[in-house]
Each structure stands twice: as C-alpha cells, then as structure tokens.
Structure 1
Amino acid sequence: MKLTQAIILSAAILAGHACLAQEVKEDFKPSILNQPGQEYPQVNSQGYVRFHIKAPTADSVRVSLGLGGRGGTLLTKGDDGFFTGTTEGPMDEGFHYYHLTIDGGVFNDPGTLNFYGSTRWESGVEIPAHDKEFYALKDVPHGNVQQILFPSKSTGSQRRAFVYTPPGYEKDKSKKYPVLYLQHGWGEDETAWSNQGHANLIMDNLIAEGKIKPFIIVMTYGMTNQLKWGHLKEFKIDTFQTVLTDELIPYVDSHFNTIADQSHRAMAGLSMGGMETHAITLNRPDVFSYYALLSGGIYTPEELQGKAKPKLIFISCGSKENPDKINQAADTLKQAGYNVVSYVSENTAHEFLTWRRSLYQLAPLLFR
C-alpha cells in the first residue's frame, strides 16, 4: 500500500513539473486592460502573462502575480534597462490583481489600468475565459451605472453608492423594478462589481437574451477595510447594517422607481460581502426575500429557524475553494424545506471569474 502511494505521489509531482515546464506559446498579445497604446503586460493563449518594465536604475523587480506560494514572478534585467519575465505557469481564466515590487518599494504597473483591491489601487490583468461572452461588451441595449451620494445621519457623512438601472429605465417612469443590493469583498469598494465584476454587462446581456426579469442593482461600500487581513472575524456588522437598511434603502426607494417591499428586494455579496449578507439577512429578514452568498459562507437551518422564510437562498464558490461544503449545505437546507440553489464555478478559486459566473447564475433566479 505504501509503495502504491509513493508511486502515485511521484507521478503527481512529475505531472506538476511537466505542467510547469510545458512549452510556452509565443502568441502573446496585449492584455485588454492595458492603458491605451501600451504593449505590456501581454497574455498568450495558454494563460501565461509576460511583463516588460522600464526601471534602468533598479536592481530588482518582482511582480506579485504568479503561481500560489511562489512569491510572484521575478523579472530579469536587460541591457536596455527593461526588466522582462513570464509567469512560471498559466494563470486561472479571468481577472487578477497585481503590483510591482521594485527594490523593496510597491508600485503599480504603468502599462495597465488600476482597480481598487487589497485596500489600495492595484494593477489588473485579464486572462480571456472560454466563456467570456456572458460578460462581454456587446451591441445590445445598455443600462446605466450612476453614482449617487446619500446622507447618513448615523455616520455623520455623505456616503456613495453606484446604481445600475436596466435599459429603458429612463423612458418609462411608471414602471417599477425589484432591487438587488450587491456587496463587494474585503479590500475592495463600491466600484468593484462594475469595474472588476462587469455586473452591468452581465445584466445587459441577460436582459437582451430575455433570460431575466430586469431589476436595479445597488452597490455601496461595506465599511470593511478598517480591519486588516487576518482580523476579519472582528468585524462588527451593526454600523453598516444601519447605513444599509435605515439610510441607503429608503434613499433608493425614494429616488428610484423601485418596488419598495421585502418580496422584491435581494441581498448578495462576494467573500466578506457574503459575510455581511449573511449577518444582515439573519438580523433583518423583514427587509430581504432573496439571499446569496458568493464565496461567502453558508446558511444552516438552525440559524434560519423561526425567521421569515426567504424565497431563495443561493450559495456558490469556485471549484478550487470548498465546493463540498457548499453542496452539502444546500442539501441540508433543501431537506429542511428551503428553496436553495448551489453553484460551483469550474477551475476557479477565490477570484472574480467565480463571482461573475455566480452573478450570471443567480440573476435569472431572482424575482421570478
């Protein structure tokens, strides 16, 4: 038995090295997230990423993007003052944050656009996904994403949110819509779901295909970033819950054409936004009828017992996360009589392609 295990382990290690050592195709093209006119970073058809950074006086340049646990990608300096290098292996499909470490200092790549994540503006690169059409920018009617500023007496401030309204919203002021309150993860803010997640494009395409009933999406800052990574369990929901349920929702209902009741209101969140969704929906089941946790934990029958029964519970994650836990939780909830849907995104981890796919699966289930 031990010999068999050793053979299997050796085969796995050799397979892993073979995967890392595969011939890299020289069909690199600029990332679609590059600044106008910038050639690097580049991505090839296998998902490798190549960098080319000008730093003539630097001694060392490392890119945080790379295979897990390997410290990113160390670039090599050329005689022309450019540091060049390619990731050791292919990256998962979809969006990835990264930054540069140049002689110990942290900088963004001037070649690409910036996205708010990890409590700072980070560089971003996109590995084209085989199913990217569902969030692609297409020649279809488009909704509108607008910034709103709403008063918050509880925090003594003006706060910001972004609101997606579906195509045709402005033309028919008599029509009213359900609302999804959609939360970002730790380190991100209210820009994440539009910029990194393409929530508006996902909605536009689903509406154009007749797959969903149009609804409004509201995205606001979840007040998550005061805590450092590793201390997220210390987060207290009370302040944000007050802002969301007592201030933002009434503001949205009074300024937009919403169906302002519990049965036409949903809350969802990715990662820590899922933790917020979990807490708020349990604390205020009178506010929401649809609950969705995207890589954000699970519900149990015990914590839902005695509360208003949601119309839908949706839980999801990537196949590289903990899919067994998600599926088992869904089975348990179904046995307890809840309407539950679980979804696992294939070949993704705790990353935006998981959450884009999750929203794509969730949206048609809402407000039916």
Structure 2
Amino acid sequence: MNKPIRHLVPLGAENKWSDLLAALIELDPHPVADLLGLGDSPTDVSVEREAPAGSGGRVDLLISAGGDKRCVAEAKVLSGLGLGQLQRYRDHYLNVPHHVLITLEHFPIDAPRSAGWRSVRWEDLLRAFAGSSDPTVAETASAWLFYVDGEMPRLSADTRWNDLRDGEGFVIAMRARMAWVYRQLQPPAGVEHDLMSSSAGQSWVARLHAPARKTSYRVHVEAEERLSVQAYPKVTGDSTWRSVQGPSVKVCLMQQDVCTSAGFDWAYLRSLWPTMEEARDDWVTTSANPKAPHDRAAWQQMVADGGPRHLGIGFGEKQAQQRNECMFGARFQLPADSTLGSVAAELNATSKLLLRLAALPHQDV
C-alpha cells in the first residue's frame, strides 16, 4: 500500500489529508486521544468536516466524543494561515476545550499559544495510528508515514539553496529550504520568530521581529526566495537552478494597527539607518519605489533630509488596507548558491542587529 496511498493523500490535496484523518479518527480514536484532547477512553467519537466557523469560515475538523465537542482542528500541508484565521475559529468555538493546528514536521507553522491553540505534527498522529489495534488503521497510517517521509527533500547545512534535484517539486523544494533554515534560528531573548506563507501564497517566509521603542512599531526581518512566485515552475529541470535567485532579507520598521500608511514615521526609519549601515556593507542600493502618492512624497522628503534612496523598500498602502500594517526599510541579497547553514547564520546575525535597532530610542532627525 506504500505507493498507492499517494493517490489518496497527494501533497497538493489538503482536503484529502483531512478526509483520511477523519476516517482514521472515527475507526480508532484511542491512539490519538491524548494528542487531540479527546479524553482517556473516548467513546462515540465523530468528526465533522468543514464545520461552519462564522462569517463564511470553515474549520477542517470538529471532533466530538461522548456527545460533546472536544477538539477543533485546522489541518495544513503546504498552505499557510490566513490573516486572523485561527483567532476567528477560536472565537466561534470558544467553549470547545482543545484547539489544534496540524502541520508537517518539515513545514512547521507554530500555533500562537496566546490565541489558545497548540501545534500537533502530522507525523506524530501517524506514528500513533501506526500502533493501532485496528489493522486497517495501522496499515494505512504506516503507509501514509512512509509516503510522507519519501516526499520530503533531504537537506543539511551543506545543501546549497539552488541545488535542486531534477524532477522534484519546485514549491516543495523551496519551502523545505526555508523551513530547514527556520528550524536553525536561535534569536536572542526579546526577538520572536515564525514561519509564514507569503501573501502571494507559494513561497514561505522566515520572519524575526521585536517591539520598537515607539508604540505600535516593530523592527521586522523577512527572508524569502527572491524569484517571483509567478515564475515558480511545477517541477525542477536541468536549468531550474539557474532561475533561483536566493533569499532576499528585508530589515524594516513596521507600523501596526493602521488602515493607511499615510502616518508612517519616516524620520524614525531614517534614525535607524546609521546603525543598519554600520552593520553591513552589502545593502541592495536599487532605489526604493513606494507606490502610493503619500508614501512616495514622504520617502522623497526622507531622501531630501539625508536618507539613502534605497531605504524605503517594503509594503505600504495596500498592505495597510489589507493587513493593517505597513513596513519600510532596506534589504540585502544572499547568493543563490549559499548553503542553508550560511543562510541560517546570516539570519541569526541579523536577529542581533534587529535587537539593536529595536532598542534605539525614537527620535526626530
């Protein structure tokens, strides 16, 4: 069954993964009862798929035991989380005691505990099911686990970013690289880090951030493959490695809880630049090009006041309207043939710069 199971749970079919998981839970819930919070000896276990979760939302699995709703589970394979998705689901099912985010070990998305969720890995669920006394459950879970393991790229610190195997899935290869880097991050105390899907929905972004000295501002670092997601091929070929551009790292000042970027403090950003400039000499010097008229006018004034023209890349009015945040800063580009170990080292070093920037007092210059 190891090979045929790929038809039931292909990596690109997240709904099929949730369907099969629901079937295994109903066949034998006992191996995963602790992981999903179903109680010591759950009985009469049922799973509702795509349960309504308010305002058009639907949660992947709503698990009941003994007639009581016990667990809300959101299952992810390659996709990321929508803006505020978990909080909305939590609010809708506030009286359900367990809220679980299921992701792969290779593509971890850590559930925000502050929102009342906890993370469970697909592999842990499948390992538990593999020990089931039900032969169908045990055989299916073992084959599924074998399939997952075989689909994951084999990476190490010496793997080059653009060292792609002919015929492997390009999106999976790129996401696996960023996920590997993310797992090596060891930022100093005070710096948070997470792994998110990009707004474009294909690549993944490793992020580091810390609160700045001015209310509603954070210093924010994002690392993402520079190749446009519109240019992502489905599978790699002999020349695909030539198109990979390597991780681009943005170091920005982010303003939160806004619906427009018109009030962004460009003077504050310019006051951070001397520390950024001192930290490294490889900032990309292509001129920034803010799109919204008010962003462009503020950037031009910042340049007139002595700031560099390349300070101001980022996301402005559109992101403020869609995500209630905006950010501007500068970026540096890592080579496409960088090893994953060197990418992780660069981000760990940048986390220390981030902390220094966050500690700088807000001042008008």
TM-score over 0.5 (shorter chain): no
TM range (shorter): 0.3 to 0.5
TM-score after normalising by structure 2: 0.34
Larger helix share, 1 or 2: 2
TM-score (norm 1): 0.34
Q: Which structure is richer in relative contact order (CA contacts within 8 A, separation 6 or more)?
A: 2
